[in-house]
Amino acid sequence: MAKPLRTIVLTVLLAAWALHATAELPAADTENRTGAAVRSTTTADHSKFEQLQGPFSSGPEVTEACLGCHTEAATQVHGSVHWTWRYEHPTTGQTLGKRHALNNLCLGIVGSYERCSSCHIGYGWEDEHFDFSAQYKVDCLVCHDRTGTYEKFPTGAGHPAYEDTMFRGRLFEAVDLAHVAQNVGQTSRATCGSCHFHSGGGDAVKHGDLDSSLLAPSQVVDVHMSPEGLDFNCSTCHEFSGHDQAGSRYLVTAAPQHGIAVPGRESDRPACQSCHGDTPHARSIHDKLNQHAEFIACQTCHVPEIARGGLATKTLWDWSTAGRRSEEGMPVVERDAEGLVLYDGMKGDFAWRENYPPVYRWFDGTMRYTELGETIDPSRPVDINRPEGEAPRNGTRSNGARIWPFKVLEGRQPYDDVHQHLVVPRLFGRDETAYWRGYDWTRAIEAGMAEAQRTGQTEAGFSGSHGFVETRMYWPVTHMVAPAEMALSCEACHSAGGRLEGLEGVYIPGRDRHPLIEGLGWAAVMLTLVGVVGHGLTRAVMAQRRRRLRLGDDAGDAS
Amino acid sequence: MSRELIFTRFERFWHWTQAVLIFGLLFSGFALHGTHQWIGYDTALRAHIVLALGLIALWAFAIFWHLTTGEWRQYVPTGRGLPAVALYYAYGIFSGETKPFVSTPAAKHNPLQRIAYFGFKVLLAPALWISGLLLLFAAAWRSTALGAVLPLAWVAYVHVAAAFGLLVFLIGHVYMAATTGKPWYAYLKSMVTGYQESDQAPPGSEREVYTPQVERGSKS
């Protein structure tokens, strides 16, 4: 009796243990992926390092400590566009990067370094004399912080707040540098996002596909980055090698050629094809979806809307209305019911939009910029940047251009209305020439353009007279990839008035008709119908009449 | 009243299968063209391809059948008797005249039908097939030398224009073939049963009745 009982108890216990163990496994796995380390993935615990015990009084001190072991890190960073803010475009020959390229958000960085360099991976870029060769000026922590407590102060020239400081109504707490230094690790969505989600002056402002909703997105918002799923970091696709990252919006890999990325072979990372290959769609009776990939970017169907994460992105920035201040001299700020800023005395009028369709252009990956000093036609909206590329000519393979989605940011910004070129005003600064102190466009533009000449950005001067010109910027939409079932339907483009209305260089069934064929065709169909109905009715009427006549005859005979 | 087998079992199978396929192709085709939105684009595309492949297979059989049986001669246009039939449909039919044509197994189609069906087979169908196959396999040729001289849009224009032609043909065909018999549904019925019940052309009617003969045995 006792023996069977013991067996049963043992079996039950074993089963319970087995169930418990299998239940544990996925949970442990998930924890691992969300980063709450069950088992550390690194071989070093930085909190045990003597060099990192602190105290540290400034960021550069931490950097010196880092460089004690990571001897080549700063040199590597010095070669990266994150540090140089300079990009020599191999196709257009243009010198771009944040130091040179214009935009229609805060227009350009010259003269406003202290403010703009709050997104530079360095410390102390406060004027044009910044030493780009100084190793200790590299900011390791902004990318490698794992505590979430390290934040660059908006006007600190790249430094965090070392003591509690207010900025436009928000408190930036003093950072505990030793704590941050002891907890460094791999980059994360949060570290990349600390700049890229907030570019253009605030959360979700610039890109429309990069905002703080990507810190922990649902699978609907981003099928790759969601902690519910694959939990990708930015660097999962934007691979870094020696602190140099893959992917550039000046030279986009618009039509990847290398298929799935195989170690040791050339790869198109971060292109979709690097993982999904060139023919990711299941064939049905036809293979049209895979064939579409030759001339349509994956993003065109699989990122169906801009700003899908619940945060509106800026669609208009009108500088021409800036300057309104209260009686106390403070810039006026107006918000809509949801708190979005519609007017800011420092910046002008804004418009915002979320979850809306992109515009589509042929794009071969090359962005051509309108440079400072380049002559413009102010009677039309000026493209600050323009995606290059056109449809492949008949009978040729793809020329590298595919149809890509873009967020278009409309702008209205100052230009020299005598010399007919765009200008960069000095927005931020400690003296009255800065627009945000003196609110005088002429002085701000003079200061900005003088600075641009000093740094060699342009030789163009400022006539002293300015107007405001409409501008446009194109931002490729590539993040916030939706789950497959949320991809655009065929009808989105294969219909009159659909997403690709007006896009030239391609025949799209359902969108395109030949007006003559359509007109003659329907005319012939209608004429035939009318003819047939007329013929039939006449027959019926005549037959009716004959019958009546016959009846009449019969009646006559009978009488 | 005599009963005579005009349409063999194969012909009836061929005709009605073709009818279903063609109506399906027109419906799905105009969905692809954006004329109506009663079915989704993806559904329409897959249906259109399946129906087209089905029609091609059917036609392969039909062409083989027509060649081996010599029945292809039924579709050779003739001018003889054409004015009479044309005049009948333009005038005589209204005053109840007798149709100046009687179908026989050897000559199933009146001269007007011969011209219409011949045009369908020689012009419309090849235009639809060739342009349709080119559209289906566009990925295979658009980047070749053929693509350089033949823009995809032109192929699509031909396909759409031929589809309009087909629609016009169908309207006329359905009206003539399904409603102009005696009684009005007589032709429709014979296309279903295969038999023609002919009391409609009493021998010795006033008009000359021309019945072209298929010359059997001389397949040169």
List, for residues A86-109, the tens digit of each pLDDT value.
999 999 999 999 999 999 999 999
What residues 74-93 of chain B have any CB closer than 8 A to a CB of chain A? 89, 93
Q: What is the reported pLDDT for A15? A: 53
Q: Could you give the CA distance from residue A216 to residue A189 in angstroms, rounded to a whole number?
A: 8
For chain A, how big is the Rg over CA atoms in Å? 32
In a domain, A402, yes or no: no
Mean pLDDT taken over chain B: 85
B143, B182, B184, best to mutate vs chain A, most A CBs in 10 Å: B143
pLDDT score at B21? 97
Q: How far apart are CA A103 and CA A412, in angstroms?
A: 11
Enter the pTM of the model: 0.87
* Average pLDDT of span A21-28: 40
Does ipTM top 0.90? no
Residue B92 confidence (pLDDT) above 90? no
Q: Report pLDDT for A8.
A: 59
| pLDDT at B219 exceeding the cut of 60 | no
Our count of domains for chain B comes to 1
Distance from CA of A299 to the nearest CA of B (A): 19
Beta bridge partners of A416: A421, A466
Confidence of residue A262 (pLDDT cuts 50, 70, 90): confident
A325 DSSP assignment:
B
Contacts of A183 (CB under 8 A, 6+ apart): A46, A47, A145, A146, A147
- Percent of chain A exceeding pLDDT 90 equals 76
Nearest to A510 among B34, B149, B152 (CB): B34
**A168-189 pLDDT per residue, tens:** 889 999 999 999 999 999 999 9
Asked if B123 and B22 count as a contact pair (C-beta separation under 8 A), the reply is no
Model pLDDT, residue A396: 76
| Residue B115 confidence (pLDDT) | 87
pLDDT band at A29 (very low <50, low <70, confident <90, very high): very low
**pLDDT class of A19 with cuts at 50, 70, 90:** very low
Q: How far is CA A115 from CA A157, A196, A412, in A?
A: 6, 15, 21
CA distance A59 to chain B (A): 57
Among candidate residues A509, A374, A346, the one with its CA nearest the CA of residue A434: A346
Nearest CB to B143; choose among A395, A507, A509: A395
**Residue A501 in tokens:** 């209305």
What pLDDT does A33 receive? 46
Of B93, B144, B168, the CB nearest to A395: B144
Residue A464 pLDDT: 94
With cut-offs at 50, 70 and 90, classify the pLDDT of residue B80. confident
- Give the mean pLDDT of chain A: 90
From the list A397, A512, A522, which residue is nearest B153 (CB)? A512
Average pLDDT over residues A408-423: 97
Q: Does A20 reside within a domain?
A: no
To the nearest whole Å, the CA of B67 is away from the closest chain A CA by 31
Least reliable range by pLDDT among A137-151, B85-99, B126-140:
B85-99
**Interval A349-367 mean pLDDT:** 96
Please check whether residue B41 lies inside any domain of the structure: yes
Whole-angstrom distance, CA of residue A149 vs CA of residue A180: 7
Angle, in degrees to the nearest 10, between helices B186-193 and B152-179: 100
- Return the pLDDT at A328: 92
User: Which token pair is A249?
Assistant: 């919006």
pLDDT in tens, A420-477: 999 999 999 988 999 999 999 999 999 999 999 998 888 999 999 999 999 999 999 9
Where would I find the H helices in chain B? Answer: 9-32, 41-69, 82-87, 111-119, 125-136, 138-141, 145-149, 152-179, 186-193
CA distance B166 to A303: 40
pLDDT at A557 over 60: no
* Residue A334 and residue A341 in contact, taking contact as beta carbons nearer than 8 Å: yes
Residues of A with CB under 8 A from a CB of B: 284-288, 291, 294, 392-398, 489-491, 494-496, 507, 509-514, 517-518, 520-522, 524-525, 528-529, 532, 535-536, 538-539, 542-543, 546
A537-546, B30-39, B209-218 — which is least confidently predicted? B209-218
The CATH number of whichever domain residue B37 belongs to comes to 1.20.950.20
Strand partners, A363: A402
Is the pLDDT confidence value at A152 over 80?
yes
Whether B133 contacts chain A with CB within 8 A: no
Is the predicted pLDDT of residue B157 greater than 50, yes or no? yes
The tokens for B84 are 């009479």
Segment A424-433, tens digit of pLDDT: 999 999 889 9
- Residue A22 pLDDT > 50, yes or no? no
Range scoring the smallest mean pLDDT among A471-480, B178-187, B192-201: B192-201
Nearest residue on chain B to A491, judged by CA atoms? B41
Report in angstroms the alpha-carbon separations of A35 from A43, A47, A106, A362: 15, 17, 35, 39
**Using a CB-CB distance cutoff of 8 angstroms, which residues of chain B are in contact with residue A525?**
164, 167-168, 171
Please check the confidence at residue A13 and state whether its pLDDT lies above 70.
no
Provide DSSP, A268-296. Answer: -TTSTHHHH-S--SPP-S--HHHHHTTTB
pLDDT on residue A533: 95
Cis preceding linkage at A331, omega within 30: no
In a domain, B95, yes or no: yes
Question: A221-235, A360-374, B202-216 — which is least confidently predicted?
Answer: B202-216
Structure tokens at B16: 């009605």
Please state the domain count of chain A. 1
* A265 has pLDDT over 90: no
Q: How far apart are CA A501 and CA A512, in angstroms?
A: 9
List, as ranges, residues 35-74 from B with C-beta within 8 Å of A. 37, 40-42, 45-46, 49-50
Gap between the Cα atoms of B71 and A231, Å rounded: 69
Q: Does residue B134 form part of some domain?
A: yes
| Partners of residue B40 in chain A, C-beta under 8 Å | 489-491
Of A397, A507, A509, the CB nearest to B143: A397
CA distance A305 to A300: 9
The predicted pLDDT at position A9 comes to: 57
Confidence class for position B76, pLDDT limits 50, 70, 90: confident
DSSP state of A48: G
| pLDDT given for residue A28 in this prediction | 37
Residue B212 within a domain: no
Containing structural domain, residue B57:
2-198
Q: Are B212 and B102 in contact (CB under 8 A)?
A: no
CA distance readout (Å), A251 to A360, A406, A429 = 17, 15, 32
Q: Which residues pair with A25 in a beta bridge?
A: none
| Predicted confidence (pLDDT) at residue B204 exceeds the cutoff of 50 | no
Kind plus residue range of the DSSP H or E element containing A30 = helix A2-34
**Per-range mean pLDDT, top range of A125-134, A397-406, B1-10:** A125-134
The residue of chain A with its CA nearest to that of B42 is A490
Rg of chain B over Cα atoms, rounded to whole angstroms, equals: 20
The single-letter code of the amino acid at A513 is R
The Cα A500–Cα A486 span in angstroms is 18
More confident residue, A13 or A377: A377
Collapsing DSSP to helix, strand or coil, A70 comes out as: coil
Angle between helices B125-136 and B152-179 (to 10 degrees): 140
Name residue A60's beta-bridge partners: none
Structural domain contains residue A72: yes
Q: How far is A245 from A248, CA to CA, in rounded Å?
A: 9
Model confidence at A16, in pLDDT bands (50, 70, 90)? Answer: low
Domain contains A299 = no
Which amino acid is located at B172 in the chain? G
> What pLDDT digit, counting tens, does each position of A309-340 carry?
999 999 999 999 999 999 998 999 999 999 99
- Whether residue A12 is contained in a domain is answered as no
Q: With 70 as the cut, is the pLDDT of residue A378 above it? A: yes
* Eight-class DSSP state of A203: T
Q: Which helix (H) or strand (E) holds A534?
A: helix A515-558
Q: How far is Cα A22 from Cα A146, in angstroms, rounded to an integer?
A: 30
* Domain hosting residue A168, numbered range: 45-85+120-185
DSSP string, A138-181: B-SHHHH--SS---B-TTTTT-B-SS-EEETTEEEPPP-HHHHH
**Cα–Cα distance for residue pair A75/A97, rounded to 1 Å:** 19
The answer to whether residue B21 sits within a structural domain is: yes
What pLDDT is attached to residue B216?
44
